Amino acid sequence: MSPKTSAGNFFEDFRVGQEFRHATPRTMTEADAALNTGLFGSRFAINSSDVLAQSLGLPRAPIDDLMVFHVVIGKTVADISANAVANLGYAEFRWGEAVYPGDTLSVRSTVLGLRENSNRESGVVWVRSTGTNQRGGMVLDYVRWVMVRKRDAGAAVQPTIVPKTAPSVAPTDLIVPAGLDLARYDYEAAGSPHAWDDYEPGERLDHVSGYTVEDSDHMFSTRLSQNTARIHFEAYTAKDTRFGRRLAYGGHVISLARSLSFNGLANGFRVAAVNAGSHVGPTFGGDTIYAWSEVLEKAALPGRTDVGGLRVRTVAAKDCLCSAWPGKQADGKYHPAVVLDLDYWLLMPRH
């Protein structure tokens, strides 16, 4: 291979402490926001209406939080997960400054840990990545771990280091967008009368509807975030993987579950943090995604009476109605239909 091209990093190429400044910076546009809506059908009012956002003290409708997530992760793929087998999990995710059309996002990552798999054909890489805007303000900071193929199964690798991550993000560390004042929040325009006060820990919500994933949809959403992971695009090489076909980008499933959650959590206007998350099983073109959520915790935010934190667990399943609450079974294993289990904090207006 010419030294002018790159096949991406394989597991044996990583070192703990290794740092990456990822190419290329990305200026977010109104077109990105529109395409994101077209892909996932998200209806959250604060991302849909400049008028509503401005009535709450923001300059205009911010870019969807998960669109920011996709773009920041997409920047890291060429260096971290171009040769991924699967993205495995998330921790310590925090969204920072709101992102608006015209903002330019850049990303840096540091390798935190490595563990070779017993088959010696792949290993798990832990990284912390930070996305910033053109002013240097943090827009997203997180840890994720991904299984990456080895170039040579016999290659020597670094000693195993598995980093410890926090079990959750503290409510005091949740960031409310600058200028936001929910005193005039319009529940009718937002599509639901239910505020933070109306939810209780232990409450479950079946989000009812489903979305069928088309290969064209998940491939387009992955291209939109400039994510170059081969497993999502190359049917020819994917046939030789353990799945035997292209794998839908896990973030696509997260956005579908978030969009479905509007029915029951319409006023959860911002994803503020992810405490933990796992892509439990693969999703492919033709699968239909359903979702249900459970309220885990409520938290008042310091110095705020207009907004609270709602900790939610959302489970997505394929080809399985979520009125059956598919999740972990009595033996501790997941129901075979489950593809995503996500524990996260929403910001929600208070009465």
- Structural domain range at position 50: 11-155+166-349
Residue that the structure tokens 């699968």 belong to: 287
Residue 138 · residue 132 · CB < 8 Å: yes
Q: Check residue 85 and give its pLDDT.
A: 86
Any domain includes 31: yes
Any domain includes 178: yes
Residue 210 · residue 263 · CB < 8 Å: no
| Helix residue spans in 22-143 (DSSP H) | 30-40, 45-48, 50-55, 65-80
What is the domain count for the chain? 1
Q: State pLDDT tens for residues 196-213.
A: 999 999 999 999 999 999
Any domain includes 160: no
**Does pLDDT of 295 surpass 90?**
yes
Per-residue pLDDT band for 25 (boundaries 50, 70, 90) equals very high
Q: What is the pTM of this model?
A: 0.94
Q: State pLDDT tens for residues 217-265.
A: 999 999 999 998 888 999 998 898 888 999 999 999 999 999 999 999 9
Residue 108 · residue 129 · CB < 8 Å: yes
Any domain includes 2: no
Per-residue pLDDT band for 42 (boundaries 50, 70, 90) equals very high
Any domain includes 64: yes
Any domain includes 143: yes
**Does pLDDT of 1 surpass 70?**
no
Residue 96 phi, psi (nearest 5): -110, -115
The average pLDDT across 302-319 equals 97
Any domain includes 23: yes
The average pLDDT across 63-76 equals 97
Tell me the one-letter amino acid at 121: E
Residue 191 · residue 266 · CB < 8 Å: yes
Instruction: Using alpha carbons only, give the angle 23, 29, 33 rounded to the nearest 5 degrees.
Output: 110
Find the CATH number of the domain harbouring 102: 3.10.129.10
The average pLDDT across 276-302 equals 96
Any domain includes 111: yes
